[in-house]
Amino acid sequence: MMKPDDFEFVSRLIKSKSGLVLSQDKTYLLESRLMPIARKRGLKDLTELIGTLRGGDRNLVEEVVDAMTTNESFFFRDTKPFDQFRHVVLPHMIKTRASKKHLRIWCAAASSGQEPYSLAMILDEFKSQLAGWRIDIVGTDISREILTKARAGLYSQFEVQRGLPIGLLVKYFQKKEDQWQISADIRSKVQYKEFNLLEDFRPLGQFDVVYCRNVLIYFDQPTKSDVLSRVSALMPDDGFLFLGGAETVLGISDKFKPLARQRGIYQLNRPGAPEVDLTALEKAQAGAASAAGAAPGGLAFQKPKHMQTGAATTTGTTARPAAGTTGTAGTATTRPAGSGFGTTSTQRPLGTTPSTTRPGTTGTGSTGSGTTGSAFSRPSGSTGTGSTTRPGTTDTTGSTYRRPLGTGTGAGAGGTTQRPGTGSSNTSGSSGTTRPSTTFDRSRFGKPDDKK
């Protein structure tokens, strides 16, 4: 167990070296991160490790700071900042930098490289429009070890599955044993540097676009304000800053202002900051929202015809699976060969077809005689003409929709409601559900009409 004064010493050390603030409730985190270092160095416990830290071992200090910084990252993380780059920032820069043809991007706290490589892949999509341009993408991080991984561009199966579309995996990655390596061309577009955000930014040069996402949340208020102030000094009037979804400049810095109607992207709060066209971005966002509403998970699956607004059969009625519903003659759901189902000219979603029969039945409904052309077949042992029947019953009238046992179908064409009963049949209306020739529990289903 770490002593309170040891925790205070280590937390102050980490803050001075990285800006990371550790509150007292993070003692467990500090212990879990530092024990592997103690074992690696052959130290018996955290007390001995902290004693070595107090002695000024610079290599150990670096290891401890590295262990405490979070290296969580994945491709196209949160999606929105990359859509904003593709639809707003890049078109704006292509237009305003047409004579200069030079664009510089900084990914601060780049971790294992997924963020800068995501941007490099987007830029590759615009290579025809960026022909003759010089594009610099600089990724920095405090961790030397994580930058080595970023330069190699090697990722596990789990890492490439997090946010990376399969099309881009196929296009830009090669399989290397049990890992995936991003192409040499994309790797060559990113330069990595070891850098601490507490240091002077000026040696890095000027940047048109800065990604500093999910970093400020680990800093205290004065450090956040200082970092934002120094970032603004690196940027031209029409530069763009990207922060994480849980981060903001409001109440922290007046150097930036949010882009209208957008979260996570900021412009410099200067007179020279231009108006940017959000039309393409908002159109893409509206399309994504529509697709997300069409199917779970945001996948743009088209709704079946019968679920679309205004969808109807050729008779002018909405195609719904309900008792007595009749659709267009000759249409049905197609089934695999050998399944006992017929084929028809038009394939419909299951449950939207007109007349219904079961395997082993005969019928002469709207699709013609026999099972070929029927929409859905019923169990063997039932007979009927374009209708829904039960084993042991006969029905020679129109098609119906199967209802749960014990429920009525409503009044048919003859104005009567068919009730379950022994040997019941229905020959009067266009709807009605017949029941097996069996007895049933009247207390469950209610009394017949003539007994009420």
- Residues 39-65: tens digit of each pLDDT: 999 998 899 999 999 988 889 998 999
Residue 360 has pLDDT above 80, yes or no: no
pLDDT band at 414 (very low <50, low <70, confident <90, very high): very low
Query: Higher pLDDT residue, 175 or 405?
Result: 175
- How far apart (Å, rounded) are the C-alpha atoms in residues 160 and 173? 9
Closest CA to 422 of 433, 434, 410, 430: 434
Predicted confidence at residue 23, as pLDDT, reads 87
Supply the CATH classification number for the domain 4-68: 1.10.155
pLDDT band at 69 (very low <50, low <70, confident <90, very high): confident
What kind and span of H or E run contains 141?
strand 134-141
- How far apart (Å, rounded) are the C-alpha atoms in residues 361 and 357? 6
Closest CA to 93 of 134, 41, 56, 37: 134
Comparing 217-231, 264-278, 372-386, the range with the smallest average pLDDT is: 372-386
Query: Higher pLDDT residue, 399 or 231?
Result: 231
Q: What SS3 state is found at 89?
A: helix
Mean pLDDT of 313-328: 42
Fold of 80-268: Rossmann fold (3.40.50)
* Domain layout of the chain by residue ranges: 4-68, 80-268, 322-382
Mean pLDDT of 371-384: 44
Q: What angle do CA 345, 346, 348 make, to 5 degrees?
A: 150
Predicted confidence at residue 167, as pLDDT, reads 95
Q: What is the mean pLDDT of the chain?
A: 76
Mean pLDDT of 132-147: 95
Query: Higher pLDDT residue, 397 or 205?
Result: 205
DSSP conformation class of 96: H
Closest CA to 95 of 137, 143, 130: 130
Sign (positive or negative) of CA dihedral 262, 267, 270, 275? negative
Predicted confidence at residue 293, as pLDDT, reads 62
Query: b/e for 244-255, b at 16 or more Cβ within 10 A?
Result: beebbbeebbeb
Contact by Cβ (8 Å): 95, 292? no
Predicted confidence at residue 450, as pLDDT, reads 52
CA distances from 141 to 151, 152, 421, 430 (A): 12, 15, 78, 74
Q: What is the pLDDT of residues 30-45, one digit of tens each?
A: 899 999 999 999 998 8
Predicted confidence at residue 321, as pLDDT, reads 46
Residue 350 has pLDDT above 50, yes or no: no
Other CB atoms within 10 A of residue 323 CB: 20
